[in-house]
Amino acid sequence: MHFKNSVLLAAALTAGSAVARLHGHERRHAHPKLELELEGPAPTEAPKAEVDIEQRDVGDMVYATIDGVLQSWINEWSGEVASETSSTSTSTSFSTTITPTPTPEFTASPSAVESTVIPVPTSNAGSGSSSGASGGNWYDAPSDGQFSRDAFGGTTASTKTGPLDWDYHGNVGIPWGSNIALVDEADASKYKHVIRFEGAHDEPWNLLFWNTYGPDGKMDGFWSPHAALKFSLPKGSVKYVAIDDNTQGGWAAAQGDIPTTFFGQYASTWGEFDMSNEQNDGQSGWDVSCIIAQLNGLDIQGMRICDHNKENCSYIGKGLAGLLNAYTSADQGTKNLAVTGGPGAIRLVVDLDYA
């Protein structure tokens, strides 16, 4: 058992903005390599672990490799212990029971992209039904190059709080989360960045979106209960999500409740995005990641993200049956897997039930 708390590990399990810096710049992805320290085979029974926590700043992320499984939480202990005469006391240790789960062996290999994307079906989208009544396609862009922001709130100014790529804070909306919105198919082409969701082949799928940085400015937007947007995708339906400029975030999807780790981090297969990043000359990026699910021994759902032309794809097959331009626990620290898109309109199609 070993505890670590550093800027690198604070970013290790984040919604890794899938930014690509072209023109000679380094590609960026907030999945730096985790320093996992295993202590041999997992025991057959879950032991109780008595843990003394060294002093950390309040609000810091604390990460623990416990019986081969990475765990994390937000530190709320100031390090000050009340005197014996005080009416209250602060405990410097806690006991918890962890049930270890083995990390699945990674055996997937890249495979050819197969596409079942249907460009323009008539469907239910957003809050009402639409069949593209405007006469255009959802993936078209305004001829005058002027994109709508009608579905969004205000924008937050970008900041850089450190030297690392994931120290960049982009737009999180005012109020928080208002930079990500569900829109109707008829209106989708008006927006700069649009993601079309499909692929609920049997049971409905539930989706939850986040900004990488949460409402309090901490890199915890992908922890429960934070959610910029929630919706359900019934069988056979299609929905559209518009994303504002300079937004870094992701989504999790599952049949039923979105699973979380022991400490509350969203833990299904993720879709990750970075739209028109200002520090990367307005470029965008996207990828699929199962790092959190795999490290915690949870089910790996299939997901595929391609542009509307069925190209520039990132996918993970269900149970790691296939893999392309996507992140698994074996790829931590790799910075060149995310798919990139240049400045301008982004039109993506997501198959949530990809096998």
In a domain, 174, yes or no: yes
Q: Which of 301, 268, 304, 298 is nearest to 286 (CA)?
A: 304
Q: Which tens digit of pLDDT belongs to each residue from 335-350?
A: 788 999 989 999 999 9
Q: What's the rounded mean pLDDT across residues 320-346?
A: 90
In a domain, 226, yes or no: yes
Q: How far apart are CA 193 and CA 181, in angstroms?
A: 11
In a domain, 46, yes or no: no
Q: Which tens digit of pLDDT belongs to each residue from 93-140?
A: 333 333 333 333 322 323 222 222 333 333 333 333 333 334 489 999
Q: How far apart are CA 52 and CA 2, in angstroms?
A: 11
Range of the domain at 139: 123-351
In a domain, 250, yes or no: yes
Q: How far apart are CA 45 and CA 225, in angstroms?
A: 31
pLDDT category of residue 35 using cuts at 50, 70 and 90: very low
In a domain, 215, yes or no: yes
Question: How many domains does one find in the chain?
Answer: 1
In a domain, 23, yes or no: no
- Cross-strand partners of 129: 124
Residue 111 makes CB contacts below 8 A (sequence gap 6+) with 317, 322, 323, 324
| Residue positions counted in the chain | 355
Question: Are 69 and 42 contacting, i.e. CB atoms less than 8 angstroms apart?
Answer: no
In a domain, 314, yes or no: yes
**Gyration radius of the chain over CA positions:** 21
Q: What's the rounded mean pLDDT across residues 268-283?
A: 96
Tokens 């009544």 map to which residue? 133
Q: How far apart are CA 252 and CA 238, in angstroms?
A: 17
Q: How far apart are CA 166 and CA 30, in angstroms?
A: 6
SS3 content of the chain, % helix, strand, coil (to 5): 10, 30, 60
In a domain, 52, yes or no: no
pTM for this prediction:
0.67
Amino acid 71: pLDDT = 58
CATH code: domain of residue 231: 2.60.110
Question: Are 260 and 252 contacting, i.e. CB atoms less than 8 angstroms apart?
Answer: no
**Tokens found for residue 83:** 């005197």
